[in-house]
Amino acid sequence: MSLELAGVIPIAVTPFDDDGRVDEAAIATLVDVEARWGVHGLNVLGIMGEAHKLGETERRRVAELFCKAAAGRLPIVVGTSHGGTGVAVELSQAAEAAGAAAVMVAPPIGLRGDAAIVAHYRQVAAAIAIPIVVQDEPLTTGVLMSAELLARLATEIEACRYVKLEELPTPTKVTALRRLPGGDRLRIFAGANAMYFVEELARGAVGIMTGFAFPDVLVEIYDRFRRSDAVGAAAVYDRVASYIRYEGQPGIGLALRKEVLRRRGAIASAFVRPPGPRLDDVTRAELTAILDRLGLLTVKA
Q: 200-245, pLDDT tens digit by residue? A: 999 999 999 999 999 999 999 999 999 999 999 999 999 999 999 9
Contact 101, 76 (CB under 8 A): yes
Q: Average pLDDT, stretch 184-191? A: 93
Q: What mean pLDDT do residues 149-163 have?
A: 96
Tell me what pLDDT residue 220 has: 98
Strands 132-136 and 207-208, by their bridges, are: unpaired
Q: Are 244 and 6 in contact (CB under 8 A)?
A: no
Peptide bond before 169: cis, by omega within 30 degrees of 0?
yes
Q: Could you give the percent of the chain with pLDDT greater than 70?
A: 98
Task: Measure the CA–CA gap between 127 and 143, rounded to whole angstroms.
Answer: 23
Please write the tens of the pLDDT for every residue from 190-201: 999 999 999 999
What is the mean pLDDT of the segment spanning 177-199?
Answer: 93
Q: In terms of pLDDT, which residue wins out, 119 or 276?
A: 119
Residue 1 pLDDT: 42
Mean pLDDT across the chain: 95
- CATH class of the region 7-215: alpha beta
pTM reported for the whole predicted model: 0.95
Average pLDDT over residues 260-275: 97
- pLDDT score, position 2: 55
Instruction: Look at residue 182 in the predicted model and tell me its pLDDT.
Output: 82
Mean pLDDT (whole number) for 38-56: 95
Can you tell me the mean pLDDT for 255-279?
96
- Supply the pLDDT for residue 147: 96
3-state SS string over the chain?
CCCCCCEECCECCCCECCCCCECHHHHHHHHHHHHHCCCCCEEECCCCCCHHHCCHHHHHHHHHHHHHHHCCCCCEEEECCCCCHHHHHHHHHHHHHHCCCEEEECCCCCCCCHHHHHHHHHHHHHHCCCCEEEEECHHHHCCCCCHHHHHHHHHHCCCCCEEEECCCCHHHHHHHHHCCCCHHHCEEEECHHHCCHHHHHHCCCCEECCCCCCHHHHHHHHHHHHCCCHHHHHHHHHHHHHHHHHHCCCCCHHHHHHHHHHHCCCCCCCCCCCCCCCCCHHHHHHHHHHHHHHCHHHCCC
Give the pLDDT mean for 45-64.
Answer: 95
Q: Which residue ranges make up each domain of the chain?
A: 7-215
Q: Is 300 a catalytic residue?
A: no
pLDDT (average), residues 55-61: 95
> Of the residues 53, 68, 164, 173, which is catalytic?
164
